[in-house]
Structure 1
Amino acid sequence: MLKLPEIKVGIVAVSRDCFPVTLSKERKERVVKEYGKGLYNCSVVVENEKDVLAALEELKRAEVNALVVYLGNFGPEAPETMLAQKFGGPVMFAAATEESKEDLVQGRGDAYCGMLNASYNLNLRGIRAYIPEYPVGTASEVAAMIRDFSKIARAIVGVKKLKVFSFGPRPKDFFACNAPIKALYDLGVEIEENSELDLFEAFHAHKDDKRIPALVAEMEGELGEGNCYPGILPKLAQYEITLLDWYESHLGASEFGVFANKCWPAFQTQFGFVPCYVNGRLAARGIPVACETDIYGALTEFILECVSDAPAMLLDINNTVPADLAKEVENYRITDLFMGFHCGNGSPCLLKKPKMKYQLIMKRSLEPDGEPDITRGTLEGEIADGKVTLFRLQSGADTRLKAYVAEGEVLDLPTHTFGTVGVFAVHEMGRFYRHVLIENNFPHHAGVARGNVGKALFEVLKLLGVANVGTPRPANCLYPDENPF
């Protein structure tokens, strides 16, 4: 089970006092019925400031942590936005559409107009609320909006209660992973930076831990026939227990945590293994472990897991697809294709026939002549085909946040190479690569989630205040810096 925020969404109807309050009540009840189980139905209809206080008290008792403010009629612009301001968590605004030509006198709510005033007052109060692309709808349409909002809210709640644990300085010649951490504090994320020696000491303190044999047995069951190097499992189990114990004892005032750990080259010579398999296993539990001390990569993975409700990966946007392989692909040009790769950090559930292997690139330099020993620990296999979303949240030298979101797919196509790897396809990837990734100085690490979740990610970024968000543009829509000739 993923260790992610549990979201309890509540809905509060609001009503302008010169409109029938029954209009808001009845329309809200229809939304609740359409949504089904899981939506808390607040008994207070907010018409004034005292109602705001009563609603907030009820929502607190019910442990609601994401709020829908529903305009069943025009709505009271000051109280409804005060409710959003004082709630303290993610808030969505939606409004009711008119229902019948037979009821446009006493039954007309004018919520279409009310949403305009609500947005104006939200801006006055400096509130970032989620407003759907078309926020006025029928009961079933608003219920669908709320389902989208629940995924967005989980990411917002998670980020505000997150701590990033890092071990070791970010590697030399990987400056792309080295970004200022001030923007983390701007988001409300805590950061605990530690030395590799702290991790080394904690690892050795777990030598002969009584939990190791049971965890080794669990790993053996997970790997099955893919357990090519069983001798390395005790060390990997010791390392996993070390990280989980650190997580529990250092979480402090935060509720969720992720890791960004130095993983080479001294890691292999001192710890005696490659940590990739453990990284993937923890990601499957909602505790991503980013490679190469990539702090923003760890945050990226966590957000992806919140919106997709599934394990995510951190992959290199790694290499082109050779022409003799690309010719096997239909509906994409060769520049739409690339290979996503990493040493072996994919969760087993994301790979086809995963196998415990060794890190070939490290072996070339660390133990070139013998059988693999200290370079064992990768989980290799081709990434399962299907829809995916690429995402990265990053800070730059100016400490401002920027991001990109792209939807695509992993193709059912043999890669003929090693590692955790797959052939990715994104329409107009070549232009996106040049005018978003390169132009905006994004690092080589990309977060990858199963499914197309770009819609939710885009809204999460808006609520987090990220203004610079790059997305792929169709061929007839140029990027600002793209040469038109």
Structure 2
Amino acid sequence: MKNLDKQLKIGLVPTRREAFANETTTRRKEAVVKRFRELAEELDFEIVTIEDINEEGLLMTYHDVKAAYKKLTAAGVDALIFPHCNFGQEEAVGRLAKNMNLPVLIWGPRDGCPNGLEWRPTDSQCGMFATTKLLMHYGVTFSYIENCAIDSDILKKELADFLAAANVVKAFRALRIARISSRPKEFLSVMVNEAELLEKYDIEIVPGEPTVILDRVDRILAEDRERMEALLQELVDAGLDISALGEKRYPLAAIELALMDFAEANDCNALSCECWNLFRKKYGVSPCFILGDLNDRGLPAACENDVHAAITSVMAVAAARYKTPSFVADLT
């Protein structure tokens, strides 16, 4: 199966504007970085900072963009968060977000109450309006968390939603789907345009010809008794009663192993499978249970060769941050 790092790597890019350079901004930046490190532990993601791109570790000028881009690209970040430690520098944020082409989150700590007519030390809320307007001009899609206290539950909850969305984008951009055989003849509802999927979304479909798949199953049946027994024992250990299958338990195990092997050999992270005739006529086994078990094992698998269902399953599992499998309704 395609090797996709399931832990998100987030670029944390605090920003400030020169006109608001003061001790309040410095303290706020340090508190923000500290809080996001805590949230990274709680929500299970990795932080990549820009601490070493300049003396302050802040995105402050257009010239900082090049250094931040170099570091974040080399680190392979999956998304960007721009905490506005004061008004922020929308020119730099906009250009970096546009160049990186990743999910973007805009947030800033809530500004303190003004002390009479004294100069406001941060003005994050106003700066976030400026930044988000520029992002719209650049055509950058972004998420936005309302100004709130650093320790607010709002920040944690909304950040978790952003991480789920970023995970979906990451998984969607890495899609390579094994398509086992063709769709059942009567199932025009699952027709799919492979060229359009590739051209529009860079989703690759890898055909698994029936002869290739059946040959894999036959070889496993003839040569791989140990692997079949191991897989069947896993099912029993999970509480499944397979005694009624009799000798058909071996074709069942061989089919599942063949599908897993094909997906792994072709670097696929999902599959769709013809489930009416391919296996049933030769082995007397329908793959419905097999496809469900593959989903449980972390390989989204759709029946009736429904490629769109496989795509949706990948997105659903990513949105759940790989904590629970998806299921296609037909498998139930």
- For normalisation by structure 1, the TM-score amounts to 0.59
Per-residue deviation, 1:273: 0.6
In structure 2, relative to structure 1, the CA distance for the partners of 1:111 and 1:277 (3 Å cut) is same
* More strand as a share of residues: 1
Alignment-mate amino acid for residue 144 of structure 1: K
Distance across 2 between alignment mates of 1:24 and 1:261: 56
The answer to whether structure 1 residue 15 and structure 2 residue 19 are counterparts is no
Q: Contact (CA 8 Å) 1:220, 1:227: kept in 2 or not?
A: no
- Structure 1 unaligned spans of 5+: 316-341, 346-419, 421-485
Q: Contact (CA 8 Å) 2:32, 2:83: kept in 1 or not?
A: no
Distance across 2 between alignment mates of 1:102 and 1:123: 34
**More displaced 10-residue stretch of structure 1: 18-27 or 292-301:** 18-27
In structure 2, relative to structure 1, the CA distance for the partners of 1:221 and 1:197 (3 Å cut) is same
Alignment-mate amino acid for residue 259 of structure 1: L
The answer to whether structure 1 residue 42 and structure 2 residue 50 are counterparts is yes
In structure 2, relative to structure 1, the CA distance for the partners of 1:67 and 1:310 (3 Å cut) is same
The answer to whether structure 1 residue 137 and structure 2 residue 148 are counterparts is yes
Per-residue deviation, 1:46: 0.5
What does residue range 135-174 of structure 1 map to in structure 2 within 5 Å? Answer: 135-139=146-150, 140=152, 141-174=154-187
Alignment-mate amino acid for residue 50 of structure 2: C
Aligned to 1:335: none
Match of residue 292, structure 1, among 301, 304, 309: 304
Distance across 2 between alignment mates of 1:20 and 1:230: 75
Distance across 1 between alignment mates of 2:282 and 2:259: 17
In structure 2, relative to structure 1, the CA distance for the partners of 1:62 and 1:26 (3 Å cut) is farther
Distance across 2 between alignment mates of 1:230 and 1:111: 68
Per-residue deviation, 1:23: 4.3
The answer to whether structure 1 residue 206 and structure 2 residue 220 are counterparts is yes
Per-residue deviation, 1:222: 2.0
Helix, strand or coil: the match of 2:244?
Answer: coil
In structure 2, relative to structure 1, the CA distance for the partners of 1:299 and 1:28 (3 Å cut) is farther
Aligned to 1:277: 289
RMSD: 2.5
Distance across 1 between alignment mates of 2:236 and 2:117: 67
Aligned to 2:236: 220
More RCO (CA 8 Å, sep 6+): 2
Per-residue deviation, 1:162: 1.5
Task: Report % sequence identity.
Answer: 25
Helix, strand or coil: the match of 1:270?
Answer: helix
Distance across 2 between alignment mates of 1:48 and 1:191: 43
Helix, strand or coil: the match of 1:64?
Answer: coil
Distance across 1 between alignment mates of 2:4 and 2:297: 6
In structure 2, relative to structure 1, the CA distance for the partners of 1:48 and 1:103 (3 Å cut) is farther
Match of residue 240, structure 1, among 236, 256, 259: 256
Distance across 2 between alignment mates of 1:21 and 1:240: 62
Q: Contact (CA 8 Å) 2:272, 2:306: kept in 1 or not?
A: yes
Distance across 2 between alignment mates of 1:283 and 1:24: 48
Distance across 2 between alignment mates of 1:103 and 1:235: 79
Q: Contact (CA 8 Å) 1:13, 1:25: kept in 2 or not?
A: no
Q: Contact (CA 8 Å) 1:268, 1:274: kept in 2 or not?
A: yes
Per-residue deviation, 1:182: 4.4
Distance across 2 between alignment mates of 1:264 and 1:286: 23
1:170-221 per-residue CA deviation (whole Å, 9 max, x = no partner) reads 2222211113234533223222233323322222232231422211221222
Distance across 2 between alignment mates of 1:172 and 1:118: 52
The answer to whether structure 1 residue 197 and structure 2 residue 211 are counterparts is yes
Match of residue 120, structure 1, among 121, 124, 133: 133
Distance across 2 between alignment mates of 1:227 and 1:29: 61
- For normalisation by structure 2, the TM-score amounts to 0.84
Aligned to 1:260: 272
What does residue range 388-467 of structure 1 map to in structure 2 within 5 Å? Answer: 420=332
The answer to whether structure 1 residue 54 and structure 2 residue 62 are counterparts is no
Per-residue deviation, 1:225: 4.0
The answer to whether structure 1 residue 179 and structure 2 residue 180 are counterparts is no
Alignment-mate amino acid for residue 15 of structure 2: V
Helix, strand or coil: the match of 2:19?
Answer: coil
Q: Contact (CA 8 Å) 1:31, 1:142: kept in 2 or not?
A: no
Per-residue deviation, 1:15: 1.2
In structure 2, relative to structure 1, the CA distance for the partners of 1:176 and 1:4 (3 Å cut) is farther
Alignment-mate amino acid for residue 9 of structure 1: I
In structure 2, relative to structure 1, the CA distance for the partners of 1:13 and 1:3 (3 Å cut) is closer
**More displaced 10-residue stretch of structure 1: 209-218 or 135-144:** 135-144
Per-residue deviation, 1:300: 0.6
Q: Contact (CA 8 Å) 2:22, 2:121: kept in 1 or not?
A: no
Helix, strand or coil: the match of 2:304?
Answer: helix
Helix, strand or coil: the match of 1:206?
Answer: helix
Q: Contact (CA 8 Å) 1:8, 1:39: kept in 2 or not?
A: yes
The answer to whether structure 1 residue 311 and structure 2 residue 325 are counterparts is yes
Per-residue deviation, 1:244: 1.6
* More helix as a share of residues: 2
